[in-house]
């Protein structure tokens, strides 16, 4: 069995969060909708083009993939898998709370 270090847990959490973050950006980008990204003005509040959202989604996919590989998440080690899912739930809740504000504007 491989040795699991503290940074594997951190990578698992952020892999879950970043991979979850790609979903709204990819959906909005492929749907042709403007949606907030870190590149908008103001960052995270203004709207970015569908192309920027699609590219941002694929950047999230690439970063999330490398973090997932670095985390050593597997079905053999349940704690890492649980932390990965905790990252997904955390970014899901944060995103839902932030994006509901966008819809009210």
Q: Chain centroid to CA 12: how far?
A: 12
pTM of the complete model: 0.88
Please answer whether residues 70 and 18 qualify as being in contact, where contact means their C-beta atoms are separated by less than 8 angstroms.
no
pLDDT digits (tens, 9 = 90+) for 38-88: 999 988 788 999 999 999 999 999 999 999 999 998 888 789 999 999 999
In a domain, 87, yes or no: yes
Q: How many residues does the chain have?
A: 105
Asked if the peptide bond before residue 42 counts as cis, ω within 30 degrees of 0, the response is yes
**Residue 94 structural domain:** 6-99
Strands (E), 17-92: none
In a domain, 105, yes or no: no
Written as six digits, the tokens of 9 are 């847990």
Number of structural domains, the chain?
Answer: 1
In a domain, 1, yes or no: no
In a domain, 81, yes or no: yes
Q: How far apart are CA 11 and CA 83, in angstroms?
A: 9
In a domain, 104, yes or no: no
């Amino acid at each position: 069995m491989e040795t699991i270090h503290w940074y594997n847990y951190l990578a698992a959490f952020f892999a879950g969060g970043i991979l979850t973050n790609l979903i709204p950006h990819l959906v909005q980008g492929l749907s042709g909708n403007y949606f907030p990204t870190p590149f908008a003005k103001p960052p995270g509040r203004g709207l970015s083009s569908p192309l920027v959202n699609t590219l941002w989604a694929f950047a999230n996919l690439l970063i999330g993939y490398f973090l997932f590989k670095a985390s050593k998440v597997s079905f053999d080690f349940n704690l890492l898998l649980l932390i990965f899912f905790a990252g997904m739930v955390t970014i899901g809740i944060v995103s839902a709370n932030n994006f509901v504000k966008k819809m009210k504007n």
